[in-house]
C-alpha cells in the first residue's frame, strides 16, 4: 500500500504517479492497465490540485494506492470544499465537444471499473481489475 500526502503541486503529483505506476509494473500489470491507471490517477490529481485545492500550496493532496495482483484501488483526497460530480456536464455531447476542460471525471469512469465520491465531494475512490499482464492459466500455451 502506498499512502502519501503531497503538496498542491503538479510536479509532486507526477512523481507520485510515477511511483504508483512503478509498483503496478512490478506487480505485473501490462501496458493497457497501466495506461488506464495513469490516466485516471492523473485526472484525479489534476482535479484535486486545480479545482479542489485551487493551486493553494498550503493545502495537501492525500493519496492511497493499493496495487494488488488482481485489483488496484486508489483514493485521492483534497482539502477543498468538494463538489457535486453529478452536476458536471457530459463532455461527450456535441455542445460540449469544443470545451477545453471538463473531461477528467468522464475519463476516470471510462478507464476504471468503479469510481465513487464521498458525500462532501473532495475524495474520489477508484478501482480497476487487472486485465493485462495476467499469467496464463496452467495448461495453456
**Which residues of the shown chain bind other proteins in the complex (CB under 8 A)?**
10-11, 13-15, 17-18, 21-22, 25, 31-32, 34-35, 38-39, 42-43, 45-46, 91-92, 94, 97-101, 103-104, 106-107, 110
Give 3-state DSSP helix, strand, coil % of the chain, rounded to 5.
40, 25, 40
11 vs 119 by CB, closer to other proteins: 11
Q: What are phi and psi of 24, to 5 degrees?
A: -60, -40
22 vs 68 by CB, closer to other proteins: 22
Contact 20, 67 (CB under 8 A): yes
**Cell digits of residue 34:** 497501466
Query: Minimum distance between the CB of residue 14 and other proteins, rounded to whole angstroms?
Result: 5
15 vs 71 by CB, closer to other proteins: 15
Query: Minimum distance between the CB of residue 76 and other proteins, rounded to whole angstroms?
Result: 13
What distances in angstroms separate CA 72 from CA 27, 35, 75, one per listed residue?
Answer: 11, 13, 10
Residue of 74, 80, 12 whose CA lies nearest to 37: 74
30 vs 82 by CB, closer to other proteins: 30
Query: Minimum distance between the CB of residue 31 and other proteins, rounded to whole angstroms?
Result: 8
Amino acid at each position: 500500500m502506498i499512502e502519501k500526502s503531497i503538496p498542491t503541486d503538479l510536479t509532486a503529483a507526477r512523481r507520485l504517479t510515477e511511483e504508483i505506476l512503478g509498483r503496478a509494473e512490478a506487480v505485473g500489470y501490462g501496458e493497457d492497465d497501466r495506461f488506464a491507471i495513469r490516466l485516471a490517477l492523473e485526472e484525479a490529481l489534476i482535479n484535486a490540485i486545480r479545482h479542489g485545492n485551487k493551486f493553494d500550496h498550503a493545502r495537501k493532496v492525500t493519496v492511497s494506492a493499493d496495487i494488488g495482483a488482481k485489483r488496484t484501488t486508489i483514493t485521492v483526497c483534497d482539502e477543498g470544499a468538494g463538489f457535486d460530480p453529478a452536476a458536471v456536464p457530459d463532455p461527450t455531447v456535441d455542445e460540449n465537444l469544443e470545451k477545453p476542460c471538463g473531461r477528467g471525471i468522464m475519463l476516470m469512469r471510462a478507464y476504471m471499473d468503479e469510481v465513487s465520491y464521498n458525500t462532501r465531494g473532495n475524495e474520489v475512490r477508484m478501482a480497476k481489475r487487472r486485465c493485462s499482464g495476467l499469467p496464463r492459466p496452467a495448461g495453456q500455451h
